[in-house]
Chains A and B, each alone.
Chain A
Amino acid sequence: MKLTRFAAAGLMSAALALMGGVALAQDAPSVLVTTINMTADDIPTIDPTLSETVTSVDVLNHLFPGVTMSDVATGELELGIATAITPTPNDDGSVLYTIDLLEGVAWVRYNAESGAVEQVTDADGNPLFVTAADAVYGMTRALDPATAAPYSYVLLPFVTGAPEFNAGEADASTLGVSIVDENTYTILAPDSAAFAPAVFGLWMARPVPQIAIDAFGDSWTDPANIATYGPYALKEWVRGTGGSISVVVNPFWAGAENIPAATIEEVQWRFLDQPQAFAEYEAGNIQAIDVPVDQVPRVQADPVLSAEYYRGVEPCTYYLGFDNTEAPTDNVHLRRALSYSIDRVAIADNVLQIGWIAAGWFSRPGLNAAPTPELNPDLGVTFDLEFAQAELAIALEELGIANAADLSLTYSYNDTARNALIAQVIQQQWTENLGVTVAVNPMEGSTYFSTISEEHPGIARVGWCKDYNDASNFLYDVMYSQSSQNDVNFSNAEFDELVSQARLMTDTEERRALYARAEEILNEEEAAIAPLFWYAVNSLIKPNLEYVPSVVTNQAYNEWSFSG
């Protein structure tokens, strides 16, 4: 059957295309077409459990909102489809979280024949609603080693029994997740990390429809098979470059306290490269795009485009990792010399010109409990030539090298135009400021990422973006000595103590003070890494749209509207 379908599809569509073909539906004014956060490649999946890219999460947030969500405008954590999350501390330090779900949230599916969103029913025709069982199933499915969910590891420290179950050493019954009643379930967390509710709301922990997954297997996310519950419902998914994914308003979504029902009738994400998205924006066919970086100066200078231009926060940090255990970068004075001799402001303002901010430390300001330039004005690495040269002199003496030019250093990066540009400027600054000759080593992406995990190449470019909105996601999850993400092999007892302690505290200002001290150790005293930039996003949005500027990368289109 499938052969005939394949062959017939090819021949028929060739014929159709030549005869004039079927016209695509004309965009009604109620449709928002966007490429923000998209790339030229198809979205890998919209299965919440299996997602790992910004593209996936941006779409699935509208279909499967979590029990908690980050407010797009402030980044603050708020309740999503939960009406309450109640922590009950136990004597052993563990915490039982009781999660009450919003009642009457319907599972829905778009019917392509009738053109309407319909409720999903069970075999007897009774409509199905999101229950505690769906939430527990979603969590269990994410942690099941058979699922091989790439992002499941983020959940592991927050659910009792999860590491053992995920490693295949225990079965699902040992997992600290239980159903209490129709709309209530509990999660037992092994410790009192205050931001655990943020993790419980992440995409891989979202409720998913077991009935659809059991019936349709891997094809359950096809528009004809899927069941969703958020403010939008999946309408169509054209796979591949230039394709698109479309969602329409879900009339059964009554709105949660922080997740309003949508006003824009239909949202379509298109998979285009940035130059093509820009061309379509100029042609008036796309209403919201990321600006191609080489076009930012032009956009800012253009009287029309500059009025539609928006520069926002992206919660990511760009940094150089030094191998802390192998010569010569195991020498702290050399690391300090390298870090303090980079003029970050000059690179950001004169070379990049895309709104990136010179970073003095690792955890991006704006994250919960992260230090900020306003509250911690003296913190962080700066451009200090005198100090850098003094440190270099000590380093050379300790390393027994007579001349700075005899140092053998290699700066590796995954080869993109931007990474190459930054590498070349830093290479030049090191030569001018320190007299050090550094070789730059561009590598193909996949090779590079496996290399820095397995055998760190001395000096390497890295980027880190938040999973959940807390400084712990940067400082503990990446730089803790035992973290699987700690590619630079940084290990400092005081740092470990600080980030472990801050992780379990509740008062934000007290935590911020500990993180500020931890950052001081990481970047200034040990110079384990050289933080370089905090990212920014550059968007163009048509003037007839009322939008909510996002500080969390992902967008909430259910909060947008056409202004007429």
Chain B
Amino acid sequence: MTKFILRRLLWMILVMFVVSVITFGLMRAVPGGPFSREKPLPQATLDALNAKYRLDEPLIVQYLVYMGDIVVPRIGPQTVPSADEDYLIEFQLPAIFGENQSFKWVNFGPTYSARGRSVNDIFRENMPVSAQLGVAAFLVAVSIGIPLGVAAALNRNKWQDFGAMGVSIIGVSVPVIISAPVLQYLVGVQWRILPVTGWGTLNHLILPAFTLGFASSALIARLMRASLLQVMNEDYIRTARAKGVAESGVITFHALKNGLLPVVTVLGPLFAALVTGTFVVETVFGVPGIGRYFVTAVQGRDYPVVMGTILLYAGVLVISNLLVDVVYAWLDPRIRFD
């Protein structure tokens, strides 16, 4: 297992490298630039801005400098805070390295659209908000989706089945861009039960987490139902019943555990998508997360933010999938990776 995880981590480096090259290439192939304005900037100003952000250098140099700032650790004196040199990991070194020397690592660069702010600032300030919302939404999705799917499967073609699948049809077919403003208007403006927008208290979390989680729960419920129905027809379920295991035991220990496998497969990417923020839900509920940056960065050609957010998403996705594989092995002991 350890060997498997190590091998996957090495793969992850390769994946991240490929993602970074493709993203960098695509983003620079798109016309327009970070300083294209409705009121065009004069050439001298453009030149100064391009020089400041090294956008006047050859693309390959820009890529290497960018990746170097992220990957290569460095040691140097502490400096005045600067968006160009803001390291995720920075700490004072012992005196043997010289006076006032710091270890610095992982600099995702400045954002062009907010002067004086770095991509790391966005990670520090906005990423945790999205992560909280994402985890909450994930819990909502799982705690609605799995029981709904199980109830539907165990009561196939009864009212519970139709009810549960009806609910999940709503979840699948009503996009959050509809459900979010509707819930917001009803619960926030009309009934005044929960805050309309904002962030900071549990009350602020409920509506966005429910909106986001409910939409995902539908998918989980349908998968859970289909998978459980299939498992219930397996030989080992019949064997368990023949042995005289109580029906509740058959379902909990034999059917459910195996029935979860396909659900767990989708939970990895789902988790990655939820914790890295969502544009619509964050915008509608005024949640200061990272989701909106994915879109505005592309629109504004904010290259470091585009790179940073995509690498972040790719990283979370790869790690989530790794976790899924580990959970596989626990769910089904026949699966071994070594």
Contact = CB atoms under 8 A, between A and B. Distances in A.
Pair from one complex: yes
Contact of A283 (B92, B128, B188): B188
A148 B52 contact: yes
B201 A150 contact: no
Interface stretch (A188-196, A235-243, A257-265, A545-553): A235-243
Contacts of B118: 218
Nearest to B279: A241
B179 interface: no
Given A2-B88, A238-B288, A21 B201 contact: yes
Interface-central residue, B80, B185, B197, by most chain A CB under 10 Å:
B197
Nearest to A23: B201
B114 A45 contact: yes
A50 B290 CA distance: 24
A453 B116 contact: no
Given A18-B136, A218-B81, A451-B31, A240 B45 contact: no
Given A270-B286, A484-B40, A41 B292 contact: yes
Given A6-B88, A283-B189, A449-B36, A239 B125 contact: yes
Interface-central residue, B48, B185, B296, B300, by most chain A CB under 10 Å:
B48
A223 B239 CA distance: 68
A167 B79 CA distance: 28
A243 B44 contact: no
Contacts of B286: 40, 241-242, 270-272, 276
Interface string B263-297: 00000000000000000001111111110110010
A2 B87 contact: yes
Given A20-B202, A272-B286, A282-B189, A221 B181 contact: no
Contacts of A104: none
A133 to B, nearest CB: 20
Contacts of B288: 42, 238-243, 271
B80 A216 contact: yes
Contacts of B292: 40-41, 240-241
Given A242-B282, A282-B189, A447 B40 contact: no
Contact of A279 (B79, B131, B185): B185
Interface string B200-215: 1110010000000000
Contacts of B44: 145, 153, 163, 166-167
A449 B38 contact: yes
A384 B36 CA distance: 36
B225 interface: no
A220 B79 CA distance: 14
A271 B285 CA distance: 11
A6 B299 contact: no
Nearest to A285: B196
Contact of B45 (A10, A153, A214): A153
Contacts, number: 229
A10 B128 contact: yes
A450 interface: yes
B222 interface: no
A169 to B, nearest CB: 10
A487 B178 CA distance: 41
B287 A242 contact: yes
Contacts of B136: 17-18
B40 A487 contact: yes
A445 B301 CA distance: 10
B126 A240 contact: yes
A368 interface: no
Contacts of A147: 48
B201 A22 contact: yes
Contacts of A240: 122, 125-126, 129, 288-290, 292-293
A47 interface: yes
A166 B121 CA distance: 30
Contact of B128 (A9, A40, A220, A451): A9
B131 A445 contact: no
A10 B131 contact: yes
Nearest to A242: B286
Contact of B200 (A21, A149, A272, A282): A21
B47 to A, nearest CB: 8
A446 B42 CA distance: 16
Contacts of B87: 2
Given A13-B132, A41-B296, A221-B116, A453 B40 contact: yes
Contacts of B83: 218
Contacts of A446: 31-34, 36, 299-301
Interface in A410-429: 414
Given A14-B135, A45-B114, A446-B36, A153 B287 contact: no
Interface in A430-458: 444-453
Contacts of B80: 214-217
Nearest to A221: B116
B145 to A, nearest CB: 19
Given A148-B49, A487-B40, A241 B116 contact: no
B64 to A, nearest CB: 23
Contacts of B181: 275, 279
Contact of B116 (A2, A219, A279, A448): A219
B39 interface: yes
A464 B39 contact: yes
Interface in A215-233: 215-221
B225 to A, nearest CB: 29
A364 to B, nearest CB: 15
B187 to A, nearest CB: 11
Interface in A248-296: 270-273, 275-276, 279-280, 282-283, 285
A277 to B, nearest CB: 8
A449 B288 CA distance: 28
B35 interface: yes
A16 B4 CA distance: 35
Contacts of B39: 464, 485
A28 interface: no
A10 B131 CA distance: 7
B307 to A, nearest CB: 16
B314 to A, nearest CB: 18
B18 interface: no
Nearest to A7: B128
B287 A283 contact: no
B198 A242 contact: yes
A222 to B, nearest CB: 9
A150 B41 contact: yes
Contacts of B116: 45, 47, 50, 218-221
A152 B45 contact: yes
Contact of A242 (B43, B88, B135, B199): B199
Contacts of B36: 445-450, 453
Nearest to A240: B288
A24 interface: yes
A147 to B, nearest CB: 8
B299 A445 contact: yes
B288 to A, nearest CB: 3
A17 B134 CA distance: 12
A276 B284 contact: yes
B205 A1 contact: no
Nearest to B50: A148
Contacts of A282: 189
A462 B38 contact: yes
A2 B107 CA distance: 12
A234 B112 CA distance: 23
B115 interface: yes
Given A14-B131, A14-B135, A276-B284, 10 more contacts: A9-B128, A23-B200, A145-B51, A215-B80, A217-B79, A218-B116, A446-B34, A446-B301, A484-B42, A487-B40
13 contacts: A10-B132, A41-B296, A45-B116, A50-B116, A146-B52, A150-B35, A240-B125, A272-B286, A276-B184, A276-B284, A279-B181, A279-B197, A446-B299
